[in-house]
Amino acid sequence: MYDNLLANVPTDLWIGGKWKKASDGGRFDVIDPATEKTIASVASATVEDAIAAVDAAQAAFPAWAAKKPRERAEILRKAFEIIMRDAERFAKLITLENGKALSDSRGEVAYSAEFFRWYAEEAVRNLGSMSMAPASGARILAQHKPAGIAVLVTPWNFPAAMATRKIGPALAAGCPVVLKPASDTPLTMLALMPALEEAGVPPGVVNVIPSRSSGKVVSAMLHDPRVRVVSFTGSTEVGRKLLHEAADQILKPAMELGGNAPFLVFEDADIDAAIEGAMIAKMRNMGEACTAANRFYVHEKVHDEFAKKLSAKMASLKMGNGLDDGVAVGPLVNKEGRDKVVELVDDAVSKGAKILTGGKVPDGPGFFYPATVVTNVPDGAMMLNEEIFGPVASIQTFKTEEEAIKRANDTEYGLVAYLYTKDMSRGLRVSEKLEFGMIGLNRGLVSDPAAPFGGVKQSGLGREGAQEGMKEFLETQYISVTW
């Protein structure tokens, strides 16, 4: 199984359009979370390798920035087509190193490719402006130029999409990039490089450097004066550290950080529709997503019906190796992640919560945890304040709209919130009062390449996707001229 999937997957560093060993020869293992077996050994970049990648990006920058927008757009469009041509191979590779069910991986591949198609269209719409200064009469010319080399740091939960969501707009804007993928899932991005080369991406425009020395490698790049942008997706804790480091060189930061999404179900909601949305919001990537619904707040009048139906749906999901037919719940990405979920559930139960389904680690290899529903969760439970990052839904009740809003906003995070109600007046009213960058109103999925993705409070800075995503890689230049 492994041989077929990994036969053509490179495992070295991609720098300047060439595969290179780490400067010190270092490598690290990649583990299949379903079997706990080693599936590959990947080169581990050093600080020296990181600077070499920045050198390559700098060499490629002038020519790439000077390309006509349509030329960059055609390359991105071709990259989209190549990924979709090889979609099944990419999906199986994602499942192999990440663990998610193959159906989920197929969705991720389509989503990740769409960022290249979207930014192929946006690349030609980098529009400036001209106006007359009201007092002086001088012309005000404003244009948007590529900011420079961008360092991209991506997580393991969506190894394809979290990278293409950054690469797409950066390349559309005219910026070269150095990507440091997560150590748990480096193979997907390495496998993408031949596809980008086939699409016509010039050497040095995209560089990929997996590393077990992430802190040192990323820090070295952020302190290189040639680097002008840092885009990071990951935990708020790491994001804070990177922001501190980015301040040393006054880098332009884009930070998509943690979440603790509430899911509100009002008494007038279509319960079956709410269950369908809940399954998407909770179980996408087994709950290992910053957008995952963590805290379910259900009106007391419909709590029992919602809890019963959600438990039945969760209990019906087949758990197993994500490559097997019919599997909906694969393993979590590693032992640490699985152990954290166990800790959060055990803590809630010890404080009075009740498990309706799941809640027990199965025997055998693999970092598995079943789809779980926990009700009667007390306010002091850890899972209400921390990202669960697993297939666990915690349920509390509420009585009034004001109470629901207060509970939903009672978190340092502000990425996404979900709510279900048949009353659109209420839906929009509550949405405006929720302190989140994104709202799913009668929808369990908000992610879309054409939409501005991002949060407020401790959930980050900037936006990815839509027109806003390309702006993160552009600087505005103003020219004052009289004629």
Q: Order of strands, edge to edge, in the sheet holding 416-420?
A: 354-357, 372-375, 392-398, 293-299, 261-265, 416-420, 438-441
Q: pLDDT of 366-417, one tens digit each?
A: 999 999 999 999 999 999 999 999 999 999 999 999 999 999 999 999 999 9
Amino acid identity of residue 205, one-letter, is: V
pLDDT at residue 8 is higher than 90: no
Q: pLDDT of 301-327, one tens digit each?
A: 999 999 999 999 999 999 999 999 999
pLDDT at residue 3 is higher than 70: no
Q: What is the pLDDT of residue 2?
A: 63
Query: The tokens of 108 are what?
Result: 């991720």
3-state secondary structure the chain: CHHHHHCCCCCCEEECCEEECCCCCCEEEEEECCCCEEEEEEECCCHHHHHHHHHHHHHHHHHHHHCCHHHHHHHHHHHHHHHHHCHHHHHHHHHHHHCCCHHHHHHHHHHHHHHHHHHHHHHHHCCCEEEECCCCCCEEEEEEEECCEEEEECCCCCCCHHHHHHHHHHHHHCCCEEEECCCCCCHHHHHHHHHHHHHCCCCCCEEECCCCCHHHHHHHHHCCCCEEEEEEECCHHHHHHHHHHHHHCCCEEEEECCCCEEEEECCCCCHHHHHHHHHHHHHHHHHCCCCCEEEEEEECCCHHHHHHHHHHHHHCCCECCCCCCCCCECCCCCHHHHHHHHHHHHHHHHCCCEEEECCCCCCCCCCCCCCEEEECCCCCCHHHCCCCCCCEEEEEEECCHHHHHHHHHCCCEECEEEEECCCHHHHHHHHHHCCCCEEEECCCCCCCCCCCECCEECCEECCECHHHHHHCCEEEEEEEECC
Q: What is the pLDDT of residue 205?
A: 98
pLDDT at residue 156 is higher than 60: yes
Q: pLDDT of 238-261, one tens digit each?
A: 999 999 999 999 999 999 999 999
Q: pLDDT of 53-81, one tens digit each?
A: 999 999 999 999 999 999 999 999 999 99
The mean per-residue pLDDT over the stretch 217-236 comes to 98
Q: What is the pLDDT of residue 415?
A: 98
Contact 459, 236 (CB under 8 A): yes
Q: C-alpha 262: how far from its chain's center?
A: 18
Of the pLDDT bands very low, low, confident and very high (cuts 50, 70, 90), residue 5 is confident
Q: Distance (Å, rounded) from C-alpha 313 to C-alpha 301?
A: 20
Contact 321, 289 (CB under 8 A): no
The pTM score is 0.96
Choose, from 114, 122, 256, 464, the residue flagged as catalytic. Answer: 256
Choose, from 122, 175, 288, 290, the residue flagged as catalytic. Answer: 290
Looking at every residue in the chain, the average pLDDT score rounds to: 97
pLDDT at residue 1 is higher than 60: no
Q: pLDDT of 134-148, one tens digit each?
A: 999 999 999 999 999
305 among known catalytic residues = no
412 among known catalytic residues = no
Q: pLDDT of 170-213, one tens digit each?
A: 999 999 999 999 999 999 999 999 999 999 999 999 999 999 99
Of all residues in the chain, what percent carry a pLDDT higher than 90? Answer: 98
pLDDT at residue 215 is higher than 60: yes
Q: pLDDT of 427-453, one tens digit each?
A: 999 999 999 999 999 999 999 999 999
Crossing angle between the packed helical segments 271-283 and 303-315, to the nearest 10 degrees = 50
Q: Distance (Å, rounded) from C-alpha 481 to C-alpha 15?
A: 42
Crossing angle between the packed helical segments 161-173 and 102-122, to the nearest 10 degrees = 10
Q: pLDDT of 75-100, one tens digit each?
A: 999 999 999 999 999 999 999 999 99
Q: 462-468 contacts: CB < 8 A, separation 24 or more?
A: 462/231, 462/253, 462/254, 462/255, 462/256, 463/254, 463/437, 464/165, 464/166, 464/169, 464/231, 464/254, 464/256, 465/115, 465/118, 465/165, 467/122, 467/125
The mean per-residue pLDDT over the stretch 153-166 comes to 98
Q: What is the pLDDT of residue 7?
A: 84
Question: Which residue(s) pair with 261 in the sheet?
Answer: 293
